Amino acid sequence: MHAQPSSVSPAYDADALRAAFRVGDPKARQAIVPRLKPEEIEFAGVRMFVDPRDNYTERRIWLDGQPPEMESLLSLVEMVEGRRALVLDVGANCGAFAVPLGMAVGAGSKVLAFEPNPVMVARLERNIALNDIETVIEVHDCALGAVPGEAKLNLKHGNFGQASLRPIRPRQRAGGTTVAVRPLLDFVDENDTGYDITVLKIDVEGGEEAALGAMLAAGGWLPDVLLMETRHGDEWDGDLIGQIKAAGFRTARKIDGNTLFVRGKAA
């Protein structure tokens, strides 16, 4: 008598998959990714529900138990912890910065999280709710740019977190979606002076110049702290860092492919 093949699927073992992913070469990792499942991860009292299959940031949280730019995040947490802060997270992704910062700030604080990708907006809102900070964080499902309007958000294959208003190489592009674009200064007021500290974090895959240009040129409202991804600086048309320094910022740190600028009372 021949044994019948089992119809029972092997049990899902997230820890075994993590171990295999850590030691695997790129081809092996690529084969593992579709087998992964969404999972809740907790770090430093923060709960994040992540899907490691289609977003680099979430995959690193799933793999390492913390966000990939932890040093940058901790720099901002230390600045806002327990203080009445205004925080703007431009390119909020799944909430890897917005959620921990929203939990760290003091009473009377506000976090504005900007994320145009509809898939990531849903994940961001879920993580905000998971940590019971809906009254602290406002989600704005738009991109930031020089003028109000609409634009095509280009999606990157296998990584929702790297969607961009800038072109993506055809072989990496996975379609796109039309999103609203708003100027950053629509969301702040020159009279927003009642905060202990104001912080702007921006990571928009090379679109930083369009998002910040009008704010820097206006000569009005400016944050005390600016954390900006600068690894894509070769994609900018002008001297954005020169503009930032001309506005009174100085470079405090370079970490995780980002530059931390401070001015005024934060300097």
Angular region, 264: left φ>0, alpha ψ -120 to 50, beta rest: left
Q: What is the pLDDT of residue 8?
A: 54
Q: What is the pLDDT of residue 265?
A: 72
Q: Which residues pair with 148 in a beta bridge?
A: none
Report the 10 Å Cβ neighbour count for 116: 25
The answer on pLDDT for 263 being more than 90 is yes
Task: Write the CB contacts of 111 (distance below 8 Å, at least 6 apart in sequence).
Answer: 87, 88, 89, 98, 101, 102, 105, 136, 137, 138
Does some domain include residue 139? Answer: yes
Q: What is the pLDDT of residue 190?
A: 65
Does some domain include residue 155? Answer: yes
Q: Which two tokens stand for residue 40?
A: 């809740």
Q: Which two tokens stand for residue 225?
A: 């702290």
Q: Which residue has the higher pLDDT, 2 or 247?
A: 247
Does some domain include residue 82? Answer: yes
What is the number of domains present in the chain? Answer: 1
Does some domain include residue 203? Answer: yes
Does some domain include residue 37? Answer: no
Domain that holds residue 122: 69-266
The answer on pLDDT for 1 being more than 50 is no
Does some domain include residue 57? Answer: no
Does some domain include residue 229? Answer: yes
* Dihedral sign for Cα atoms in the order 7, 13, 14, 19: negative
Cα separation, 101 vs 129, in Å, equals 14
**Proportion of the chain above pLDDT 70, given as a percent:** 91
126 φ/ψ angles, rounded to the nearest 5 degrees: -65, -40
The answer on pLDDT for 52 being more than 60 is yes
The answer on pLDDT for 209 being more than 70 is yes
Does some domain include residue 169? Answer: yes
Amino acid in the structure at residue 8:
V
Per residue in 147-186, pLDDT (tens digit) is 899 988 887 767 777 777 666 666 666 677 899 999 999 9
The answer on pLDDT for 6 being more than 70 is no
The answer on pLDDT for 65 being more than 50 is yes
Task: Write the CB contacts of 79 (distance below 8 Å, at least 6 apart in sequence).
Answer: 85, 197, 199, 225, 266
> Average pLDDT in the 222-235 region?
90
Q: Which residue has the higher pLDDT, 217 or 253?
A: 253
Confidence of residue 7 (pLDDT cuts 50, 70, 90): low
Which DSSP string corresponds to 198-264?
A: EEEEE--TT-HHHHHHHHHHHTS---SEEEEE-TTGGG-SS-HHHHHHHTT-EEEEEETTEEEEE-G
267 in helix, strand or coil? coil
Tell me what the pLDDT averaged over the chain comes to: 90
74 in helix, strand or coil? helix
Helix axes 14-23, 56-64, angle to 10 degrees: 110
Per residue in 88-116, pLDDT (tens digit) is 999 999 999 999 999 999 999 999 999 99
CATH code, domain with 186: 3.40.50.150
